A and B are shown apart, each in its own frame.
Chain A
Amino acid sequence: METAALIVVLVIALALFFDFTNGFHDTANAMATPIATGALKPKTAVLLAAILNLVGAFLSTEVAKTVSGGIVNESDISHSLLPALIFAGLIGAITWNMLTWLLGLPSSSSHALFGGLIGATLVGVGAAGINFGVVMSKVVLPALIAPLTAGVIAFVATKIAYGVTRRYDGKPDGRSGFRWGQIFTSSMVALAHGTNDAQKTMGVITLALITVGWQSTDEPLWEVKVACAVTIALGTYLGGWRIIRTLGKGLTEVKPAQGFSAESSTAATILASSALGFALSTTQVASGSVIGSGLGRRGSVVRWRTAGRIALGWLLTLPAAAAVGALAAVLVVWLGLTGVLIDAVLAVVVIVGLFLWSRRNAVTHANAMSDVAVSGKAVDLPEVPGPTRRRSRIELERAQARAERKAAEAEKALRRARKLEKSVGKGPEVKAARKAAERAERKRIEAEKAAHEWEVLSASRRARAELAEWESAQAEASNGEEAR
């Protein structure tokens, strides 16, 4: 019993450390957009995010119940083994998280946590220890569906935001007022983050407490709630420096209307999911929203290569963290308590080593950029967006009418010149009439060219998209060479 208690204490400490890194890592995701558009000062944004994460953690416990009572079949696992397996799973999650953070790979803290737990349980007990139904319906499928959902909603919301505030007469449209709105929407994202992410740690700690008999229900104890809420808030507040350092690197192209729509979509998706107990990756949802809202802006195109790389990183997180968790669990299963202690030492060595390595290397866009900002790069946005379809149609009609008018003028001038030539020979009047005809002809050609240009606008957009894709590939190739 004493051994189990010691392991549970270790699990709680490690889970709270995970919670802290989660808040530390995700501050940028919640607050990067409002700071990028100038809606909030960085310091205010960070403080607001910390407070709202704290509040959000108390709003619901559905996600905590999913983690503590659904993923692992705790009744089928020996009570002396389960805390050690949870410990191994946490080590897998933290190691994978820190590694991807350092290498600048897209990842998700939440999926790393679930991956680690699943990997460790598979090694310790086998497939019988995992409740695959819950894993599929509450973790895997939401992971695939939620970013798409958020993206679609953000796309629709962005179209609405721009459509409602669009003016065709060039007068002020009031869009800078979305900056005010962003203060509220980004606050909602921070609140939603606290509601979903703090609960995952609550769930893990509750699971550990249930296994040693210190708790009977899967509802988290209030002490656990307070500890997790305070830890995630502290991590969020202390993670703020990264925002300030990495601000200029990513979301340079996000406009207030777009940021407002993206944040509304992120907050709505996470809050609705939390209410039903879906354990989401807030990073992935926020990234999906940024991509969707980018596509909602006129003239934007997807950089498929970048988008594909991000998606691949997301898909890899769960199995990779599971593999690390499984490795840690192998030691636990073979060596018992000694294995747990070796795992703890290894974890400390890995965490301190990675931390020192990260301190030695300067913070660059490769290792400290917000994952959401990285996702923003999956969409290519023009500095000056092309005209709307309605505007194109109006301009095309105007250009065609001008071309017809100029053609008629040219014809008339030519007829006049011929008439004069017949009546007075080759005098200065004829010369002037000829020149007028030539001028009218030139204008007709220009007008026809303008009309043609409006018609080929869509073709030029496609060409621009291909060029952006090519430039992105070139930049990647040169970065790869530099790294080598």
Chain B
Amino acid sequence: MGIEIDWLAFFQVFLAALIGAVAIVTFYALGLRMLVRAGRVPLVTPAEFTDAITVISEKELRHAEKQAAKAAKKSPLTEGQKRFALVLAYACFLVCGAAVVGGITLIVVGH
């Protein structure tokens, strides 16, 4: 009796995982890019300094904030365009959330 392998299932897993991961990463990265375009550069410092984290000093953080504010000021976009970029950023984050919720729903419903 030969062993039957369902190769299509492996392909399905690869495709589903690829689409899911790539969609989440692409839309999240696009969202961040749009936030920067909208002049709201996300500066997220580490939650807690441990050995594993490259420590950012207060001075470096202030410098980064200053640089971000300067870049936002120099932005060639009009206020309207900036608002549009912000809306796009939030839309991208929403797509990410929807992808996650959709994926989990598919698993639960499929089950």
Chain A residues with a Cβ under 8 A of chain B: 35-42, 44, 59-62, 132-133, 136-137, 141-142, 145-146, 149-150, 152-154, 156-157, 160-161, 164-165, 171-181, 184-185, 188, 191, 195, 247-252, 256-257, 260-261, 264-265, 267-269, 271-276, 278
B48 near A269: Cβ-Cβ < 8 Å: no
Q: How far is the CB of B72 from chain A (nearest CB, A)?
A: 9
B29 near A60: Cβ-Cβ < 8 Å: no
Nearest to A40 among chain B residues (CB) is B47
Main secondary structure of the interface of B (DSSP, over half): helix
Chain B residues with a Cβ under 8 A of chain A: 3-6, 9-10, 12-14, 16-18, 20-22, 24-26, 28-30, 32-33, 35-36, 41-53, 64, 67-68, 71, 96, 100, 103-104, 106-108, 110-111
C-alpha spacing A176/B26, complex, angstroms: 16
A39 near B52: Cβ-Cβ < 8 Å: no
Which residues of chain A have C-beta atoms less than 8 A from B35's C-beta? 174, 177
A174 near B33: Cβ-Cβ < 8 Å: yes
C-alpha spacing A184/B93, complex, angstroms: 12
Known: A41-B47, A149-B14, A276-B12. 13 other contacts (CB 8 A): A36-B50, A60-B107, A60-B110, A149-B17, A153-B21, A164-B33, A174-B32, A252-B51, A265-B17, A268-B17, A271-B103, A276-B9, A276-B13
C-alpha spacing A171/B108, complex, angstroms: 43
Of B13, B49, B110, which is within 8 A of A278 by CB?
B13
Which residues of chain A have C-beta atoms less than 8 A from B64's C-beta? 172
C-alpha spacing A260/B26, complex, angstroms: 11
Nearest to A150 among chain B residues (CB) is B17
B32 near A272: Cβ-Cβ < 8 Å: no
Q: How far is the CB of A225 from chain B (nearest CB, A)?
A: 12
A260 near B28: Cβ-Cβ < 8 Å: yes
Of B32, B36, B46, B107, which is within 8 A of A271 by CB?
B107
C-alpha spacing A90/B110, complex, angstroms: 30
Which residues of chain B have C-beta atoms less than 8 A from A40's C-beta? 47
Nearest to A187 among chain B residues (CB) is B100
A275 near B107: Cβ-Cβ < 8 Å: yes
A39 near B6: Cβ-Cβ < 8 Å: no
C-alpha spacing A173/B42, complex, angstroms: 9
B42 near A180: Cβ-Cβ < 8 Å: yes
A-B pairs with lowest CB-CB distance, top 5: A38-B46, A248-B51, A177-B42, A164-B29, A268-B20
C-alpha spacing A250/B6, complex, angstroms: 37
B107 near A39: Cβ-Cβ < 8 Å: no
A272 near B13: Cβ-Cβ < 8 Å: yes
B111 near A36: Cβ-Cβ < 8 Å: no
7 contacts between A and B (CB under 8 A): A36-B52, A36-B53, A38-B45, A60-B110, A172-B67, A249-B52, A264-B25
C-alpha spacing A185/B49, complex, angstroms: 21
Instruction: With A157-B22, A172-B36, A268-B21 as known contacts, state yes or no: A275 contacts B45, CB within 8 Å.
Output: no
B5 near A62: Cβ-Cβ < 8 Å: no
C-alpha spacing A298/B76, complex, angstroms: 30
C-alpha spacing A165/B5, complex, angstroms: 41
A137 near B3: Cβ-Cβ < 8 Å: yes
B36 near A173: Cβ-Cβ < 8 Å: yes
Instruction: With A172-B64, A174-B33, A179-B44 as known contacts, state yes or no: A261 contacts B52, CB within 8 Å.
Output: no
Instruction: With A269-B13, A276-B13 as known contacts, state yes or no: A174 contacts B107, CB within 8 Å.
Output: no
Nearest to B67 among chain A residues (CB) is A172
Most buried by A among B5, B36, B44, B45: B44
Of B20, B47, B100, B107, which is within 8 A of A38 by CB?
B47
Which residues of chain B have C-beta atoms less than 8 A from A276's C-beta? 9, 12-13
Which residues of chain A have C-beta atoms less than 8 A from B67's C-beta? 171-172
B22 near A165: Cβ-Cβ < 8 Å: no
C-alpha spacing A61/B21, complex, angstroms: 23
Of B33, B46, B111, which is within 8 A of A61 by CB?
B111
Which residues of chain B have C-beta atoms less than 8 A from A172's C-beta? 36, 41, 43, 64, 67-68, 71
Q: How far is the CB of A262 from chain B (nearest CB, A)?
A: 10
A37 near B46: Cβ-Cβ < 8 Å: yes
C-alpha spacing A59/B46, complex, angstroms: 32
Nearest to A164 among chain B residues (CB) is B29
Of A41, A136, A171, which is within 8 A of B3 by CB?
A136
Q: How far is the CB of B80 from chain A (nearest CB, A)?
A: 21
Of B5, B21, B108, which is within 8 A of A59 by CB?
B108
Q: How far is the CB of A183 from chain B (nearest CB, A)?
A: 9
C-alpha spacing A175/B41, complex, angstroms: 9
B26 near A247: Cβ-Cβ < 8 Å: no
B22 near A251: Cβ-Cβ < 8 Å: no
